[in-house]
Amino acid sequence: MRNRYLLMSILGLAGGLLFATSGLAAEAVEQETVPLKPAQLVQIGRFAITNSMLVTWIVAAGIIIFAQIATHRIKPIPSGAQNFWEWLVESLYNFLEGIIGRELVSKTFWFFATIFIFILFVNWFGLVPGVGTIGWGHYGPNGTFRVDRPLLRGGNADLNMTTAMAAIFFVLWLIWAFQAQGVGGFLKHLFAPKGETTGVIRILMAIIFFMVGWLEIISILFRPVSLSFRLFGNIYAGESILEAMSTMNQWLSWLLPIPFYFMELLVGIVQALVFMLLTAVFTMLIAQHDESHGHAHA
């Protein structure tokens, strides 16, 4: 059942991300480094399909197909694809349960697991040979072919994609916060004084915590910004390094990027894990009203 929920969430999240990024795409300008903006491939009315969107479609389709194959015929003793899928899901579930607690993970696991798997494989797909190097371009003065408009681009090297994922989390965070605290409890969590005080000290603490509450609101509003820029910055920097190593010396273009490929494999895992953990901890901090101390540290 957990696998089915995860599969449905992957499909739903992928659709939401594609919708959210469709209106933000723009044509990339010609430059010697990896362009900041994705290249537009097709324009259908106001809907633009970019090379980074194409990558997310391919990855999402691959994950969904693999999950369907792995869970098509469930065996009591798993093997092959089913064994890998169950290991991945169970490992993520137990890992998150130890951080945010059993009750909260049972309600939010579908999102956190989906976001980790999706980000991880989008990151790794960007390292496949041909991504960023196959497309439309021109021949330079020395006779080398320069790709101006790649057919494929790393999905998370597009700020539109990372912003869309952060925005989806922010909406879900608000829903989970109101479910756990209620509107009054949510406002109390932000503005109400903490601790037991009396007299003048209580009034002073109420003023201080009221002011701190507004700072907390600013911090909450900036969380999607920090999430999106952190993931985008790390993945874009990795692609820029690989691009620089590939063009530094035409005779060694096949050799110089190899050490950085292994580094980017590790970065892909770390960034997926960081995005998942930050979103999980942000959720736990607002929903801990419903979580017992024992659950939160189980």
Task: Write down the domain spans for the chain.
Answer: 2-296
Does residue 96 register a pLDDT over 90?
yes
**Mean pLDDT across the chain, nearest whole number?**
84
pLDDT at residue 290 greater than cutoff 50: no
Q: What is the amino acid identity at position 270?
A: V
Residues 6+ apart with CB under 8 A from 33: 240, 243, 244
Any idea what the Cα angle at residue 125 is, between residues 124 and 128, rounded to 5°?
100
Looking at residue 5, its pLDDT comes to 46
Better-scored residue on pLDDT, 188 or 156: 156
- For the cut 90, the answer to whether the pLDDT of residue 121 exceeds it is yes
What is the C-alpha separation between 82 and 78, in angstroms, rounded?
Answer: 6
| Model pTM score | 0.82
CA within 13 Å, CB half, 226: 10
- Residue 146: the pLDDT is 79
φ/ψ of 75, rounded to 5, equals -110, 145
Q: CB-based contacts of 156: which residues, under 8 Å, 6+ apart?
A: 119, 122, 123, 126, 162, 231, 232, 235, 271
* Mean of pLDDT values over 250-258: 82
135: which strand partners? 150
Strand, helix or coil for residue 127:
coil
The distance from CA 114 to its chain's CA centroid, rounded to whole angstroms, is: 9
- The half-sphere exposure of 157 on its side-chain side, counting CA atoms within 13 A, is 35
What percent of the chain lies above the pLDDT cut of 70? Answer: 85
Determine what percent of the chain is predicted with pLDDT higher than 90.
54
Q: Phi first, then psi: what are they for 40, rounded to 5°?
A: -80, 130
Lowest mean pLDDT among 233-237, 273-277, 278-282, 294-298: 294-298
Lowest pLDDT segment from 111-115, 151-155, 248-252: 248-252
- Residue 32: predicted pLDDT: 57
- Longest CA pairwise span in the chain (Å): 82
Of the listed ranges 4-8, 118-122, 133-137, 141-145, the least confidently predicted one is: 4-8
Report the range of poorest mean pLDDT among 79-83, 195-199, 279-283: 195-199
CA-to-CA distance for 8 and 135, rounded, in angstroms? 33
Beta bridge partners of 139: 145
What gap in Å lies between CA 70 and CA 59, rounded to an integer? 16
If you count them, how many residues does the chain have? 298
Decide if 114 contacts 6 (C-beta within 8 A). Answer: yes
The whole-number pLDDT of residue 49 equals 93
What is the Cα–Cα distance from 18 to 16, expressed in whole angstroms? Answer: 5
Contact (CB, 8 A) for 285 and 126: no
Out of 118-122, 131-135, 249-253, 265-269, pick the least confident: 249-253
